[in-house]
Amino acid sequence: MEYNSKNIEKKWQTTWSETKAFEPSDDQTKEKKYILSMFPYPSGRIHMGHVRNYCLGDAFARFFRKSDFNVLHPIGWDSFGMPAENAAIKHKLHPKKWTYENIDYMRDELKSLGLSFSETREFATSDELYTKWEQEFIIEMYKNDLLYRKSTTVNWCEPCHTVLANEQVEEGCCWRCDTPVEQKEMPGYYVAITKYAQELLDDLDGLKEDWPSQVLTMQENWIGRSEGLEFTLELSKDSRFKLNKSFSNYSVFTTRPDTIYGVTYSALAPEHPIVKFIVEHKLLPENKINAIKEMQKVSERDRATEDKKGVSLEIDVIHPLTGETIPVWVANFVLSSYGGGAVMAVPAHDQRDFEFAKQYDLPLKQVIVGSKGLIEKPTEAFTNEGELINSESFTGLKNTKAKKAILYHFEQNSLGSKKINFKLRDWGVSRQRYWGAPLPFVHCDSCGLVPEKLENLPIALPSDVEITGEGNPLDTHPTWKNCSCPKCGSDARRETDTLDTFVQSSWYFLRYATNPKDWETTGISKKDSDYWMDVDQYIGGIEHAILHLLYSRFFTKALNKLGYTNSKEPFKKLLTQGMVLKDGAKMSKSKGNVVDPDLIIEKYGADTARLFMLFAAPPTKELEWNDSAVDGSYRFIKKFFERSANVTKESLETFKNINHKSLSKEEKTARKKVYEALQKSNEVFNKTYTFNTLIASSMEALNALQTQKNEDVWAEGYYILSNILEPIIPHTCWEISQNLFEKENFNNTIEIKEEVFELDSIILAVTINGKKRCEIEVEPNASKEDILSIAKEASLKWIEDKTIIKEIVVPNKLVNLVIK
């Protein structure tokens, strides 16, 4: 019985594929489990992060499949995106050719790991059929006011002639050409995710039991709900004249109405309409205009990490309660995307306002005091709770009560109103690039923006393009963008923007849930969605904790509203696996520390790679690559396989009728270890995810089996252990199971036999004056008197000639004797 991983793994991978062993059943009366790992981008080769992700998902799928669930465990390819265009430029290949060749190669790599994916449900998001249904959803969202077109400021790369997402801007430069990014106003398409901000926030409560708390916190912070006061600041008479009477006031939002008497200046975002007007009409000295223009070039995200910068706009507003004039500045820390792009600045009670005021020598006015009273020369803002001062009729109130009182005063006097704000902004989904799903709209001189007719979908990409990296080739294609208006039939122009690839990954799980037999006729089957959704276990990296998960949650809710699914949350349970490290650093080609999965499989076999990935660390923690530990994983599998030859033919007929009471101590211990591993298996897959502890328990059980010689106990141990380990080292376990049990042990859940946990004796520690001296072995039901008698005899040398003044028996734990 020599272990030959190549022969065993090739045999079973061929068998599984030929028999379609992992296709879900169409029988929707069975209890289901939908197990999903985040799908990969087809970059060319899988890496160890992929191996860890997909081995985790496969372990879940195999466990529940053995437990008689109807399991959906699909794979696909997130195949649109900029890397394909970069590769097209570098290798002078068409992005489609590069993408689909990579898919073919990576599919074989994943197969070599023995992953139990459904083969019939595989697709790439760049498939025209996938694009067809996605374009339908986009049109329906447009018709239902969930998608719109507007002009706004975006990250613009001039050499690439494209808009960049914030994630594609690295240290102020384009991730592709390393050119400084500009802020440019241009039209784009936006998904109205803010309409679902409160629902997205509220529904996090239902995920608290089964999602990591840090992910929930990150989502909450990204949505960023805040309650406060919205009011207008009226421009002074002189300021109105200075602005050519084009503005009379502007809105301000604050979460701290209790500090309103401490306002000493107001600040506007560089993109605020008043600021733009001043710049456009050159209403300030040239040096100030140039300083503002420099601020406008920097994205909001990058401004957040810069030093505080500002310019006095040389205008004033009137304080709504005191009538005092307040100077207005433009400041780089004010965001146009939040609260209208204007703030009331209270430097005495806001650290950001404080730092700006100190830098530009602006006054501070303390209106809340703590136990130390008024601070003469503050070195930082006072942000603790306290009592109001210098606040007219509100003086003396606790600031927590003053918030409500001042808000009420504003509302009663029609000065302002309560407002709920969110940091979440609508999602810009248009990109000026070729390799993406075309937005299904037409520009008509007569009709304006018109969605394409559904019967004309998909709007597919033209294949005859050259990718140069300079602009979107759809703009310059000689024929593709010329079309007829779907509404009036006149000559029109097709939209050349393509969709952000986050759109494709925001509904793919609903596509998997639709029976492939219906893919041609429907994008999402509501009947199938009712059965398969929600995903029972979702697995992926923590780096997707905000955007991908948030967009997927939003898309599910939007598609629910549009009638495509009854699901409202896509993922029941979420597991975020840690990175794979080598020498303490993330694996990367630039660091030269990459381990090639193909080479590991070639040398050791897929089962060794799988075992190491699940054994080296808990899945949520970082995993440090260790060559000797990989070798250790291989040796365990080799031992486990080769010693299965010790199971006798006779024991295969008799092992199910073991008389536990007649067994020796070693035999009972071995059975107990085996069943402890079985108990842990159920616990790990349903609750803790600590596969490393399950593997350790299985190793202990194998070692315990080797210390006894009962052939029935040995056979039972292999019957159970090959079941437990099948999700982790499936090829080895299928071979053992076929050789010994005709795979009977995979057909149902093995019941726990409680008899194995009944103890013949228990071990108690004996402590003298609290210090452990020895241990005693007693019967489980021994009386207190018998336990004390045995304990005293065992500890005689410590208590001889001493007086026992107290005797304590802690059941099943210890005996403590207090002496003097």
How far is residue 222 from each of residues 170, 215, 219, 546, measured CA to CA in Å?
20, 11, 5, 7
| Same-domain status, 395 and 300 | yes
680: part of which helix (H) or strand (E)? helix 665-683
pLDDT of 677 > 90? The answer is yes
How far is residue 34 from each of residues 70, 203, 325, measured CA to CA in Å?
8, 21, 63
| Same-domain status, 734 and 771 | no
| Same-domain status, 291 and 310 | yes
Q: Does pTM surpass 0.75? A: yes
Domain membership of residue 792 (yes or no) is yes
431: part of which helix (H) or strand (E)? strand 430-431
| Same-domain status, 380 and 324 | yes
Look-up of token digits 């959704």:
533
Domain membership of residue 202 (yes or no) is no
| Same-domain status, 567 and 469 | no
Query: Among 404, 391, 392, 466, which residue's Cα sits nearest to residue 435?
Result: 466
Token pair in block for residue 635: 């040796």
Helix, strand, coil percentages in the chain from 3-state DSSP, rounded to 5? 45, 20, 35
CATH, residue 70: 3.40.50.620
pLDDT of 167 > 70? The answer is no
CATH, residue 396: 3.90.740.10
d(CA 200, CA 219): 9
Query: Among 79, 126, 140, 85, which residue's Cα sits nearest to residue 106?
Result: 79
Domain membership of residue 215 (yes or no) is no
Reported residue count of the chain is: 820
Find the radius of gyration of the CA atoms of the chain.
34
Average pLDDT, the chain: 94
| Number of domains making up the chain | 5
pLDDT in tens, 414-460: 999 999 999 999 999 999 889 999 999 999 999 999 999 999 999 99
The gap between the terminal CA atoms of the chain, to the nearest Å, is 64
Antiparallel, parallel or unpaired: β 804-810 and 814-819: antiparallel
Q: Which residues are registered as beta bridge partners of 494?
A: 442
pLDDT of 584 > 90? The answer is no
pLDDT of 87 > 70? The answer is yes
Q: For 605-631, what is the mean pLDDT?
A: 94
Q: Check residue 155 and give its pLDDT.
A: 85
| Same-domain status, 241 and 381 | yes
pLDDT in tens, 211-236: 999 999 999 999 999 999 999 999 99
**Backbone region of residue 289 per phi and psi (left: phi > 0; alpha: psi in -120 to 50; beta: other values):** alpha
- Print the SS3 string covering 289-330: HHHHHHHHCCCHHHHCCCCCCEEEEEEEEECCCCCCEEEEEE
Q: Could you say which DSSP state residue 676 is in?
A: H
Start-end of H helices in 182-236: 197-202, 213-223
With 0-12 / 13-18 / 19 or more C-beta atoms within 10 angstroms meaning exposed / middle / buried, residue 729 is buried
763: part of which helix (H) or strand (E)? strand 762-768
Q: Are 542 and 552 in contact (CB under 8 A)?
A: no
d(CA 643, CA 695): 17
Domain membership of residue 430 (yes or no) is no
Tell me the one-letter amino acid at 180: P
Task: Show which of 474, 500, 526 is a domain's final residue.
Answer: 500
pLDDT of 191 > 80? The answer is yes
With 0-12 / 13-18 / 19 or more C-beta atoms within 10 angstroms meaning exposed / middle / buried, residue 585 is exposed
Query: Among 147, 146, 174, 172, which residue's Cα sits nearest to residue 160?
Result: 174
Neighbours of 24 (CB within 10 A): 25
d(CA 699, CA 691): 12
Q: Check residue 159 and give its pLDDT.
A: 83
Domain membership of residue 718 (yes or no) is yes
What are the two backbone dihedrals, phi and then psi, of residue 419, each rounded to the nearest 5 degrees? Answer: -140, 140
d(CA 336, CA 270): 8
Query: Among 73, 71, 68, 96, which residue's Cα sits nearest to residue 84?
Result: 96
How far is residue 158 from each of residues 151, 208, 471, measured CA to CA in Å?
18, 44, 9
pLDDT in tens, 264-306: 999 999 999 999 999 999 999 999 999 999 998 887 777 777 8
Q: Are 44 and 102 in contact (CB under 8 A)?
A: yes
Q: Are 61 and 35 in contact (CB under 8 A)?
A: yes
| Same-domain status, 250 and 398 | yes
| Same-domain status, 90 and 168 | no
Q: Check residue 103 and give its pLDDT.
A: 97
CATH, residue 659: 1.10.730.10
| Same-domain status, 187 and 260 | no
Task: Show which of 738, 757, 776 is a domain's final residue.
Answer: 757
pLDDT of 605 > 70? The answer is yes
DSSP states along 53-107: HHHHHHHHHHHHHHTT-EEE-B--B---SHHHHHHHHHHT--HHHHHHHHHHHHH
Q: For 674-699, what is the mean pLDDT?
A: 95
Q: Are 46 and 103 in contact (CB under 8 A)?
A: no
Antiparallel, parallel or unpaired: β 571-577 and 448-451: unpaired
Q: Are 497 and 430 in contact (CB under 8 A)?
A: yes
Q: Are 266 and 362 in contact (CB under 8 A)?
A: no
| Same-domain status, 244 and 384 | yes
Dihedral over Cα of 582, 588, 589, 595: its sign: positive
Q: Check residue 153 and give its pLDDT.
A: 81
Domain membership of residue 626 (yes or no) is no
pLDDT in tens, 733-791: 999 999 999 999 998 789 999 999 887 788 899 999 999 999 998 988 889 999 999 99
Structural domain of 744: 647-757
- Say whether 433 sits in a helix, a strand or coil: coil
With 0-12 / 13-18 / 19 or more C-beta atoms within 10 angstroms meaning exposed / middle / buried, residue 213 is exposed
| Same-domain status, 238 and 380 | yes
Domain membership of residue 108 (yes or no) is yes
Task: Mention every residue, 6+ apart, whose C-beta is less than 8 A from residue 218.
Answer: 545, 546
Task: Show which of 537, 570, 601 is a domain's final residue.
Answer: 601
Q: Check residue 363 and give its pLDDT.
A: 96
| Same-domain status, 66 and 111 | yes
Q: Band the pLDDT of 307: cuts 50, 70, 90.
A: confident
d(CA 332, CA 334): 6
Domain membership of residue 433 (yes or no) is no
